[in-house]
Structure 1
Amino acid sequence: MISINDLTFLIGSRALYDEANWHIKPGDRVGLIGANGTGKSTLLKIIVGEYAPSSGSVSMSKDLKIGYLNQDLLSYDSHHSILHVAMEAFERQNQLHDEIEVLLKKIETDYSEEVLNKLSDKQQEFEALDGYNIEYRANEILAGLGFSTQDQQRPLNTFSGGWRMRVMLAKILLQTPDILLLDEPTNHMDLPSIKWLETYLMSFEGAIVIVSHDRYFLDKVVNRTVESRKGKLTAYAGNYTFYLEEKALRGEIQKGEFKNQQAKIKQEERLIERFKAKASKAKMAQSRMKALDRLERVEDVDDDNPTVNFSFKFTKPSGRHVVRIEQANKSYPNVHILENAEGVIEKGDKIALIGANGKGKSTLLRIIAGAEGFEGKCETGHNVTTTFFAQHQLESLHLDNSILEELQAFAPKHTDTELRSILGCFLFTGDDVFKKIRVLSGGEKSRVALAKSLTTDSNFLILDEPTNHLDIQSVNILIQALKQYEGTFIAVSHDRYFLDNVANKIWFIENKDIKEYPGTYAEYEEWNSKRPQPVATSIPFKAEKEAKPKAEEKKPASPNVQQQLKKLNDQLQKTETEIAALEGNVKTIETQLADQQVYQDPVKLEQANQKYLAAKHQLDNAQNAWEDLAAEIMELESK
């Protein structure tokens, strides 16, 4: 189908591809993967002829029909309805439709045999091309991608970039190409649309090449994986999970071969060193040196999965209740988001907020962050300090700063060593930290903004689409960071692997209320697949709302209350100091329990276990006392 032979592609003096080879066969469903900057999108552009290779060739049959979806299509603009734009895919059918309309008009006055024969021929061809069903097919695909019947009549230029991309995808799918080249097709898609696209592609009869960082999507759709790395293309005969297992196995074999070769090289070098000075053995030594020079070296295995080893901590823990939402109402013109919604976020919650686009996920995050007006209450608890990460924060990065300078300005309490350690976790190593923000890609800027968010002294994180623009490696790093984070967070993301690995609660907006599922994303999916799906109905706001009593003016606290508050705050501070000391004691005993001399001695082990249990009991009591004090303070402050 498509054959890539000895492909070399240079950017300046850097070889993005160096004699790479790949053969795409009919029926292949390939996931093209690799870190950002390894040339995946460039390779697709080379295949469709937008870029010319520096050397080598890309060959295919002349009549091969390619459907190519890329991010450049976001700039396509039209005043026509999206249904009309999608139906532009049926070029011949549309042409025939127009010609038939002209002939039908003509036949009103001209009954000649010539006109009748032309009309008959056009109608037969139109029917053979399934022309009478093209609008139905366009409706079906647009509906699958999230467009209502009403939306399909709206002009394309009234939609945002993400929705326009879906229209372009619909148009490409309607062309029924022999091979689909899809560059990040799930970007800007909500979970229902991603699932629909998975189902559609699984039944697609042609070949598919997908560049994606959504590993669940790849596992569902592809049957082969090709990794772009170090200028080469390496094929694996399975989906993404198979690729991970096979790569690990190949790595182990390569590591063994590398060790054996290194041992052999050292042995040969010792032998050469020993005999090269002896005249009788010099010829043999020279021969062995030449053989060593000709030896094809096995490379050591690189670690592609860096781990996060920075401890993300905050000065003060929050109270038990982090956020309480009561009787929240929010609407935009013609769209009701929330009506008398209730929700509570408790200390230690790791919440994934999921749902289709337009249901109000980002709006709810802004309400929680205090960045969106609404009716009702949204109160943060005692000692809650918040950081809000959203995509617009990429625009607030200072373009003339280096990456390190950006973090230094934002987190002056951290040392350069600490900041460089954080940046290393987000794949900025060595001199990378001195790169200017202005030269970074979208994914790199996202990593800088995320690193900034995790340097804050916040015990509550609000994360709106943190996985956008991140490659699989960077998503893994973010997962590790959030697993180590001891505070509370709520996150919106369409990356199901990310959600499944970080969340212990699921929130979703249904019937304009906040619903909660107390479990992981995988458990939620299983539960949701078995329950009756709610009918999408519009619940109108009440015509007459009960008159709300005017809020009483808050009187200043009496001297007696002020004294009580001061006393309680002093006790709270002492309890915090006590908790810190007890936590240190528990960690010390844990270290002792890991000591070989202790755990091999039954008597010492028993003593250490008793000390550990007693220290844990003291710590639990102190933490409970802290929560009681915090509750008393909040109650007094509200009077």
Structure 2
Amino acid sequence: MGNIEFKQVTFGFDNQAQLLFDKANLTIDTSWKLGLIGRNGRGKTTLLNLLQDVYPYQGTITHQVSFNYFPQAIRDASQLTYDVLNEVATVEIWQIEKELQLMQTDDALLWRPFVSLSGGEKTKVLLALLFSDHNHFPLIDEPTNHLDLQARKHIAQYLKDKKQGFILVSHDRSFVNEVVDHVIAIEKQQLMIYQGNFATYEEQKGQRDQYELDQNKKLKTEIGRLKHTASEKAEWSHGREKGKFGNRHVAGSGAIFDRGAIGARAARTMKRSKTLVHQMENKIDSKEQLLKEIETIDMLTMNYQPSYHKTLITVKNLQLAYEKSLFEPISFQLVKGERIAIQGNNGAGKTAIINYLLGTFTGQSVGDVTIPANIRISYVRQNYENNTGTLAEFATAHHLSYEILLNNLHKLGVERHVFNTRIENMSMGQRKRVELAKSLATPAALFIWDEPLNYLDVFNQEQLEQIIQLVQPTMLIVEHDETFLNNIATQVIKLQHE
């Protein structure tokens, strides 16, 4: 299909002090399956918008293809799903049905109102629409947010089998690793290309970062040596300058000095030494300019307050229902320092279990659950739209340290200028980070997190893994990301339908 080429592309938003891209260059082949990687707020979605000419920019972006963006905008979700799709783009029904079958999805949902579909079902029908069009290059922005583990595997295989290229933004490392053959990384306002999947990118970037760290160490040692030498020469020069005003006659020696000759020699020596000092300073400047600004992942803080209870949750033959049972009976114990992950398909009852443990489940239940009285729980919710107000008001309302809240938010990638924005006016990604930062700052013996990774970039996930591995808190987690769970969970419970 051709190439997409960025030449000296510069772009930044007016309300941000720093540019997102600064004279960035990149050439990509449209047959590649590209994963787009970068920290939150560094410009992943903005780059997709630049390709679609949404924003004016400096430099040039050339391409021989037109673009389609996922998720597509929906005007009237109350209509039948097929009618909704036809409003977005004219497409034959057999094409949509074919794509849904490739995703192992029942095409009967085309005849249901779009608003009645689950998040995963909406994702699938919009992807089916995207790939029914073979005349545009797909730009896929966060398709995994509402997909369970099984659905992610289906979509990963679906994208892997596609013959055409695309650009994919996703926070799920396993998903990206399975699907892409090249990675575009946004690094320090530049666009870097890596050949291979996400694991290859991590390995290559790690090697490059280590090389730059080693080079920085050598440069800093050399700069220190040069500064020490320059300081010695400056002191020597100052001493020689004072020497020309020394004594003209030394008593008892018979020696008489020519003040003019001494002054001339001292002046020449001083001039040479100052030149050497100046040269040293130039060398130091040159070396300092070679130092690389290496991005690091800052360690978060987690206010874990271990309980004196050894067992925090005991579940025996628990079964929940809304008229019909959600899953087969389950039993488990959550011991202090363990992290249990609950897995299951969408609608299997994962969040229902959390609601039951928190006393907010409204359906029917059988079985026994024991939780010690007065256990402090910190909860990350899937839905957090009721977080409102300024961050200072929010911290006060939840009895949190304002300083710790802001500190974790900044480490999670929320820019400082956003701190003055009311929570309800923040982006969904920023609001999710507020919910997560609240949980991290809450003193608790038990952390219950319901899909904590939605809207977080892969670097945020690594931050969470690092702090969990360091602190070893007691946790109950619902999450679909395999890599995350493999790194932090001590036990996995899989819900089964009856």
Aligned to 2:80: 81
CA shift at 1:7, angstroms? Answer: 0.2
- In structure 2, what is the Cα distance between the partners aligned to 1:340 and 1:295? 66
| 8 Å Cα contact 1:367/1:378 also seen in 2 | no
Which position in structure 2 is the counterpart of 1:215?
173
| SS across alignment from 1:366 | helix
Distance 2:335 2:274 in 1: 75
Go from structure 1 to structure 2 and tell me whether the alpha carbon gap of 1:248 and 1:327 turns closer, same or farther (over 3 Å shift): closer
Q: Which residue of 1 aligns with 2:8?
A: 6
**Structure 2 SS opposite 1:397:** coil
In the TM superposition, 1:220-231 aligns within 5 A as 220-231=178-189
User: Does the alignment pair 1:152 with 2:153?
Assistant: no
Correspondence for 2:251: none
The one of 385, 403, 421 aligned to 1:395: 385
**Residue 28 in 1 paired to residue 8 in 2?**
no
Q: Which residue of 1 aligns with 2:335?
A: 347
Q: Against the structure 1 CA distance between its residues 338 and 156, is the aligned structure 2 distance closer, same or farther, given a 3 Å change threshold? A: closer
Q: Does 1:372 pair with 2:361?
A: yes
- Distance (whole Å) between structure 2 residues aligned to residue 66 and residue 290 of structure 1: 49
Query: Hey, what does 2:206 align to over in structure 1?
Result: 248
In structure 1, list runs of 5 or more residues that go unmatched.
Answer: 95-133, 513-639
* Cα distance in 1 for residues equivalent to 2:380 and 2:399: 16
Q: Residue 359 of structure 1: SS of its match in structure 2?
A: coil
Structure 2 vs 1, CA of residues 75 and 304 (structure 1 numbering), >3 Å: closer, same or farther? farther
> Secondary structure at the residue paired with 1:4?
strand
3-state SS of paired residue (2:122): helix
- Greater relative contact order (CA < 8 Å, ≥ 6 in sequence): 2
1:338 counterpart (313, 326, 332):
326
Correspondent of 1:302 among 287, 294, 307? 294
Please give the residue correspondences for 1:87-166 in structure 2 after superposition, counting only pairs within 5 Å.
91=90, 94=92, 135=94, 137-145=95-103, 147-159=105-117, 163-166=121-124
SS in 2 for 1:357: coil
Q: What SS does the aligned partner of 2:12 have?
A: strand
Distance (Å, rounded) in 2 between the aligned partners of 1:459 and 1:60:
54
Map 1:33-44; keep pairs closer than 5 Å.
33-44=37-48
In structure 2, relative to structure 1, the CA distance for the partners of 1:321 and 1:86 (3 Å cut) is same
| TM-score for the superposition, normalised by structure 2 | 0.80
Which protein is richer in helix relative to its size? 1
Aligned to 1:603: none
User: Structure 1's 200 and 65: CA in aligned 2 closer, same or farther, altered over 3 A?
Assistant: farther
* 1:503 lines up with 2:489 in the alignment: yes
Matched, 1:493 2:493: no
- 1:20-44 deviations in Å (ceiling 9; x for gaps): 0111114222211111110110111
Contact 2:43 2:186 in 1 (8 A): yes
Cα shift at 1:6: 0.3
Match of 1:358 in 2: 347
In structure 1, the residue matched to 2:70 is 69
Could you tell me which residue of structure 2 aligns to residue 119 of structure 1? none
Higher mean alpha-carbon deviation, 142-151 vs 254-263, is at 142-151
Name the amino acid aligned to 2:290.
V
Checking the alignment, whether the CA contact within 8 Å between 2:301 and 2:441 is kept in structure 1 is no
Which range moved further: 228-237 or 479-488? Answer: 479-488
Q: Over the residues paired in the alignment, what is the CA RMSD in angstroms?
A: 3.4
What secondary structure, in the 3-state scheme, does the structure 2 residue paired with 1:444 have? helix
The CA distance in 1 between the partners of 2:120 and 2:369, in whole Å, is 33
CA pair 285-501 structure 1, distance change in 2 beyond 3 A: closer
- Paired position in structure 2 for 1:97: none
Residues 32 and 210 of structure 1 are in contact (CA less than 8 Å); yes or no, is this contact kept in structure 2?
Answer: yes
Aligned ranges 1:170-249 → 2 under 5 Å: 170-177=128-135, 179-249=137-207
Report Cα offsets for 1:491-523 as digits up to 9, x if no partner: 2112221122222222223233xxxxxxxxxxx
The CA deviation string for residues 435-483 of structure 1, in whole angstroms up to 9 with x for no partner, is 6535543233223322322444443333211111111122222223433
Identical residues among aligned pairs (%) = 25
CA offsets 1:61-106 (integer angstroms, 9 cap, x no match): 2xx2433214xx3534356533455577884x75xxxxxxxxxxxx
Give distance in 2, aligned partners of 1:287 and 1:464.
60
Equivalent residue for 2:241?
Answer: none
**What does residue 240 of structure 2 align with?**
none
Choose the corresponding residue for 2:399, options 411, 414, 417. Answer: 411
Unaligned ranges ≥5, structure 2: 238-268
How far apart, in 2, do the equivalents of 1:346 and 1:256 lie? 44
Distance 1:429 1:442 in 2: 14
Higher mean C-alpha displacement, 351-360 vs 192-201 = 351-360
TM-aligned CA distance change 1:472 to 1:269, over 3 Å: same
- Report the CA distance between 1:341 and its aligned residue: 2.8
Q: TM-score, normalised by structure 1?
A: 0.64
Task: Give a deviation string over 1:403-438, Cα, whole Å, max 9, x none.
Answer: xx53344236x6x67666666765579898676535
CA distance in structure 2 between the partners assigned to 1:395 and 1:79 by the alignment: 22
Task: Decide whether aligned partners of structure 1 residues 384 and 219 sit closer, same or farther in structure 2, where only a CA change above 3 A counts.
Answer: farther
Distance in structure 2 (CA, Å) of the matches to 1:162 and 1:68 = 18
Residues 1:40 and 1:456: Cα distance change in structure 2 (over 3 Å): closer
**Residue type of the alignment partner of 1:186:** T
- Other structure's SS at 2:329 match: strand
Letter in 2 for 1:407: A
Q: Which stretch of structure 1 is more off in the superposition, 165-174 or 39-48?
A: 165-174
SS state at 1:75 partner? coil
| Structure 1 pair 196–400 and aligned structure 2 pair: CA distance change class (3 A) | same
Judge conservation of contact 2:300–2:463 (CA < 8 Å) in 1. yes
- Counterpart secondary structure, 1:278: helix
